[in-house]
Amino acid sequence: MPVPPVVALEIGTSRVRALVGEEREDGYLMITGVGECASRGVRKGDITDFDNALSCVEQALKTAEDQSKVSINQVHVVVTGSHIQGTISRGTTPIIPPDSEITTDDIEEVMESARAISLGPERRTLHSIHQQFFVDDQEGVVNPEGMVGAKLSVSMLILHGVRNRIMNVMRVASSAGVQTSGCAFAGLCSALAVLTPEQKESGCVVIDFGAGTTDYVVYANRCIALAGSIGVGGDHVTNDLAMVLRIPTGPAEKLKVDLGVQVPGGEVQDQPVTIQPSGGFAGRTARLTDVNAIISARLEETLEMIHDELRRNNLHNVMGAGAIVSGGGAHLKNIVEYTASVMNMPCHMGRPRNVSGIATATEGPEYAATVGMLRYGIRSGGGDAQPLSIRGMLGRLFGR
Amino acid sequence: MSEPKKEEKKTESNVKVPSRILLVGLGGMGLNALTRMENYSEEYADRVAIDTDGAALKASNAPRSLQFGAHLTDGMSTGGDVELGRRSANADFVKFREIFYGMELVILLTGLGGGVGSGAAPAIAQTARDEGALVISVATLPFPFEGDERARIAEKSLDLLRRSSHAVITMPNQYLLEDIGTDETMDDAFRRADEQMGAGFRVVWRLLAQHNLINLDFNSLKHMLESAGGVCTLVHAEAAGKNKAQLALNRVMKHPAVKNDNVLNDANGLLVGLLGGAEMTLLEVQEIMHGISNAVHSNARRFMGAGIDPSMKNRLSLMLLVGGKAEEAKPEAAPIPRKPEPAPADRKKPKAEQKELILQPTSKGRFKDVEPTIYEGEDLDLPTFIRRGMKLTR
């Protein structure tokens, strides 16, 4: 029986994107429809104007439908926002009788106890990803089934966010007349789309620079060690330029795109930069060194927040494959070199892997999260409306 | 106005829908303040004592008490451990949601520098705010002799508290030393400070609760606090006799909290509350308003309320809530980067640091209407360039 196409929807801060795709037998994703629309009513990943966001979603879905010639009934929704946090939870269960063989029931039970953390009524779990098992405190057990012990523990990464904010995103989708068959964190989706098995194996951090948020996912010690979202994105760079230079956001955005970020160490001759007039703005000149300083101050700060998080968890030395940047912000000039220099590790551009079909969606790092969502949607059971159960999902995350 | 009795009746019947006001004492300092302010809460404000320390709660006479973090502290005090205070508050925040449910105004009394006050107050204020209450935190700052470490802790949590509350009223303990009588006991000194605060708030909730000669409503209070940019000063004075207006005015103006930092001169928002007996004259009201207006910057937003309290026969209660610094109201007009402020401010006293921070709400550009992204006490929506005190090369 042919698998029906899956639809991924990302209601981003700068763009709303809908992708229609199906998995081919060789594992490649075949993208058959792309719908895209400049986003309105979204700030820092959160819905701030429902009606505006809705009309963008409707438009994106319509375009995707027209292009793929399917009627979209269900979508998988990408969520982000600085409210999304990762908590590492550890569950423990006794093996009864002691020193007997560990069964799948024991594993199920210990994972259940690790999942049962109290997040408060306003939060909900997005993903619970198991990291490693411990049998009688022996670390790093990948599969404890059949082992013998008295005590089984597991550490899990619980990704959770504010229920209402997630609901708001889902509600925009459902108001557009489609069912939502689950949601996933943007950072995780990006990682799923861009990473090679080798990168996961050697340890790496995926940094997805969005317009509203910067999401990160850390693979270390053969598991997803950390993940989170910082409420700072490309919009902040633009806003910083606008605020400090006192220019409108339009010219500020152009300035950012034209100049990109200056890699530390490279000598730059200071020179005037002309900011063209637009609208009611009369135009002016700024100094290149100032513009560079404003942009790099912001990016450095954001990257250092991620680096600090790595250092706090003692993971900064195990990033063998370094940093992989994706998201719309990955188009910023010199961002790869800049990230490498601030994070003090190798850095690569992360583009969606193993994708064919419509070119725009297969090449750009800005499609990483949406493409990843497609892959995620297909593996979590395609069109059916199962909430994302992660049991076994991790194996698949690593599988390819 | 010549018939006090009739007036009294009128006041009674004019009571609005009761405001839901909650007076919270948090931590050792807060519990003491709550006890001392007991007589001022009247029927307008509910009181609740909050602490990790079960014994301290038992000793307080508040009608309601709430213990939190008991599983982390074993029901004892935090012993000055700020991190423990913070974690305890976060662990039990559901309890706080329950007590703040449906409240319109929450006044959080606490002392900064210790574990519960510094650690838990910002989280608790945030919970109250999330529940939809207008949150005013009253924070006592440590004495200088308590040491630098405590001052640093207090300063850091004050910054957090300022972000989670609508307004913070600081009560530096050192003011107590300034107009102290030589034989005043410690208890008296603290009592005096708390009673003054209590009497000030009594004016606020009285004015909110009843229909007045000059009405003060909830929105005015909210506007005033919002325009204040977070840090407020509250002073109160009472006077009796023939010259009571002049007397009360003088007392307020000479209060160390007003006099020392030139707050009136720098204010960008001001709320004057007056409560008097039925014999209060318009002339008296005018005298006081005139006196205060002369002292404030012409750009400052002014709000006032004046009401009759039959029990205040021949007495006058004057409350002054001053917010913010006037120069910070201007960055829209003046180019921010050229202001030489951020860098030198770092080296100044803590007071100056607060002053600089008030600049923030107006310089956030496209993020001004969305919830701020706070990371380790910094508002990330503000340009990094400005927060780091960098300057344009010109």
Write the CATH number for B146.
3.40.50.1440
In a domain, B6, yes or no: no
Lookup result for tokens 């106890």: A113
Three-state DSSP state, B319: strand
Q: Would the CB atoms of B336 and A121 count as touching at under 8 Å?
A: no
Q: Using CA coordinates, name the residue in chain A closest to B389.
A: A297
Q: How many CB atoms lie within 10 A of CB A141?
A: 18
Q: Would the CB atoms of A44 and B373 count as touching at under 8 Å?
A: yes
In a domain, B3, yes or no: no
d(CA B128, CA B134): 8
Tell whether B44 and B149 lie within a shared domain.
yes
d(CA B354, CA B159): 8
In a domain, B392, yes or no: no
Nearest Cα of chain A lies from the Cα of B334 at a distance, in angstroms, of: 10
Tell whether B146 and B262 lie within a shared domain.
no
Lookup result for tokens 């990016």: A299
Look up the domain containing B248 and give its range.
210-327
**Rounded to the nearest 10 degrees, how much is the dihedral formed by the CA atoms of B147, B153, B158, B159?**
130
Tell whether B141 and B93 lie within a shared domain.
yes
Three-state DSSP state, B355: helix
A290 interface with B at CB cutoff 8 Å: yes
In a domain, B5, yes or no: no
Residues in B closer than 8 angstroms to A44, CB to CB, are 367, 370, 373
Q: Would the CB atoms of B383 and A244 count as touching at under 8 Å?
A: yes
Query: Least CB-CB distance to A290: which of B94, B373, B393?
Result: B393
For residues A169-173, give the mean pLDDT. 92
In a domain, B4, yes or no: no
* Domains of chain A by start residue, with CATH: 85-159 (3.30.1490.110), 196-350 (3.30.420.40)
Q: Using CA coordinates, name the residue in chain A closest to B93.
A: A120
d(CA A122, CA A295): 35
Tell whether B272 and B160 lie within a shared domain.
no
A271 interface with B at CB cutoff 8 Å: no
Tell whether B116 and B158 lie within a shared domain.
yes
Burial class (CB in 10 A: 0-12, 13-18, 19+), A246: middle
Q: Would the CB atoms of B393 and A298 count as touching at under 8 Å?
A: no
Most confident range (mean pLDDT) of A256-260, A262-266, B226-230, B371-375 is A256-260
Residues in A closer than 8 angstroms to B392, CB to CB, are 244-245, 287, 290
List the structure tokens of A70.
């399917």
Tens-digit pLDDT string for chain B (394 aa): 444 444 443 444 445 555 688 999 998 888 888 888 877 777 778 889 999 888 888 888 888 888 888 878 887 888 778 888 888 887 776 788 788 888 888 999 998 888 888 888 988 888 788 777 889 999 888 887 878 888 888 888 888 888 788 888 887 777 766 666 667 777 777 777 788 788 888 888 888 877 777 777 777 788 777 766 667 888 888 888 888 888 888 888 888 777 766 777 777 788 888 888 888 888 888 888 888 888 887 777 788 888 888 888 888 889 888 876 433 333 333 333 333 333 333 333 333 333 333 333 345 777 877 788 888 778 888 889 888 888 887 5
List the structure tokens of B197.
């605060």
Q: Using CA coordinates, name the residue in chain A closest to B362.
A: A243
Tell whether B233 and B270 lie within a shared domain.
yes
Q: Would the CB atoms of A243 and B364 count as touching at under 8 Å?
A: yes
Task: Fill in the amino acid letter for A61.
Answer: L
Which residues make Cβ contacts (< 8 Å) with residue B96, sequence separation at least 6? B50, B66, B68, B89, B124, B127, B128
Query: Between these two residues, B87 and A223, which has the higher pLDDT value?
Result: A223
In a domain, B40, yes or no: yes
d(CA B279, CA B5): 12
Phi, psi dihedral angles at B320 (to 5 degrees): -125, 120
Query: Least CB-CB distance to A240: which of B93, B97, B383?
Result: B383
Residues in B closer than 8 angstroms to A300, CB to CB, are 384
Which residues make Cβ contacts (< 8 Å) with residue A395, sequence separation at least 6? none
Q: Are B200 and B234 in contact (CB under 8 A)?
A: yes
Q: Would the CB atoms of A243 and B93 count as touching at under 8 Å?
A: no
Q: Using CA coordinates, name the residue in chain B closest to A43.
A: B370
A305 interface with B at CB cutoff 8 Å: yes
Nearest Cα of chain B lies from the Cα of A152 at a distance, in angstroms, of: 25
For residues A339-346, give the mean pLDDT. 94
CATH of the domain at B245: 3.30.1330.20
Residues in A closer than 8 angstroms to B336, CB to CB, are 243-244, 246
Tell whether B22 and B133 lie within a shared domain.
yes
Nearest Cα of chain B lies from the Cα of A213 at a distance, in angstroms, of: 10
Query: Least CB-CB distance to B393: which of A44, A231, A289?
Result: A289
B179-186 CB contacts, 8 Å cutoff, 24+ apart? B179/B256
**Rounded to the nearest 10 degrees, how much is the dihedral formed by the CA atoms of A209, A214, A215, A220?**
80
Q: Say if residue A294's pLDDT is above 80.
A: yes
Q: Would the CB atoms of B388 and A297 count as touching at under 8 Å?
A: yes
C-alpha atoms less than 13 angstroms from C-alpha of B318 in its C-beta half-sphere = 26
> Could you tell me how many CB contacts below 8 A there are between chain A and chain B?
83
Query: Least CB-CB distance to B385: which of A244, A249, A289?
Result: A244
For residues A67-76, give the mean pLDDT. 90
Nearest Cα of chain A lies from the Cα of B84 at a distance, in angstroms, of: 18
In a domain, B66, yes or no: yes
d(CA A398, CA A378): 16
| Confidence at residue B252, expressed as pLDDT on a 0 to 100 scale | 85
Residues in B closer than 8 angstroms to A305, CB to CB, are 375
Residues in B closer than 8 angstroms to A242, CB to CB, are 365-366
| Confidence at residue A373, expressed as pLDDT on a 0 to 100 scale | 94
Query: Least CB-CB distance to A294: which of B336, B363, B385?
Result: B385
- The 3-class SS string of chain A reads CCCCCEEEEEECCCEEEEEEEEECCCCCEEEEEEEEEECCCEECCEECCHHHHHHHHHHHHHHHHHHHCCCCCEEEEEECCCCCEEEEEEEEEECCCCCEECCHHHHHHHHHHHHCCCCCCCEEEEEEEEEEEEECCEEEECCCCCCEECEEEEEEEEEEEEHHHHHHHHHHHHHCCCEEEEEEEHHHHHHHHHCCHHHHHHCEEEEEECCCCEEEEEEECCEEEEEEEECCCHHHHHHHHHHHHCCCHHHHHHHHHHHCCCCCCCCCCCCEEEECCECCECCEEEEHHHHHHHHHHHHHHHHHHHHHHHHHCCCCCCCCCCEEEECHHHHCCCHHHHHHHHHCCCEEECCCCCEEECHHHHHCHHHHHHHHHHHHHHHCCCCCCCCCCCCCHHHHHHHC
Angle made by CA atoms B31, B37, B43, in degrees to the nearest 5: 115
Query: Least CB-CB distance to B335: which of A121, A231, A246?
Result: A246
Tell whether B175 and B258 lie within a shared domain.
no
* Chosen from B90, B369, B385, B391 to mutate, greatest number of chain A CBs within 10 A: B385
Q: Are B54 and B74 in contact (CB under 8 A)?
A: no
Tell whether B59 and B100 lie within a shared domain.
yes
Indicate the residue among B177, B201, B225 that finishes a domain.
B201
| Confidence at residue A2, expressed as pLDDT on a 0 to 100 scale | 53
Q: Using CA coordinates, name the residue in chain A closest to B376.
A: A305
Q: Say if residue A53's pLDDT is above 90.
A: yes
Of the listed ranges A70-74, A373-377, B371-375, the one predicted with least confidence? B371-375
Indicate the residue among B168, B184, B201 that finishes a domain.
B201
d(CA A68, CA A21): 9
Strand partners, A209: A214
Paired sense of beta strands A100-101 and A148-149, if any: antiparallel
A52 interface with B at CB cutoff 8 Å: no
A42 interface with B at CB cutoff 8 Å: no
Q: Using CA coordinates, name the residue in chain A closest to B334.
A: A246
> If you compute the radius of gyration of chain A from its CA atoms, what whole number of angstroms results?
22
In a domain, B194, yes or no: yes
Tell whether B188 and B40 lie within a shared domain.
yes
Tell whether B124 and B263 lie within a shared domain.
no
A240 interface with B at CB cutoff 8 Å: yes
Of the listed ranges A78-92, A160-174, B180-194, B271-285, the one predicted with least confidence? B180-194
d(CA A143, CA A106): 12
Total domains, chain B = 3
A270 interface with B at CB cutoff 8 Å: yes
Tell whether B123 and B152 lie within a shared domain.
yes
* Chosen from A240, A255, A288, A342 to mutate, greatest number of chain B CBs within 10 A: A240
Q: Using CA coordinates, name the residue in chain A closest to B370.
A: A43
Nearest Cα of chain A lies from the Cα of B385 at a distance, in angstroms, of: 5
Q: Using CA coordinates, name the residue in chain B closest to A300.
A: B384
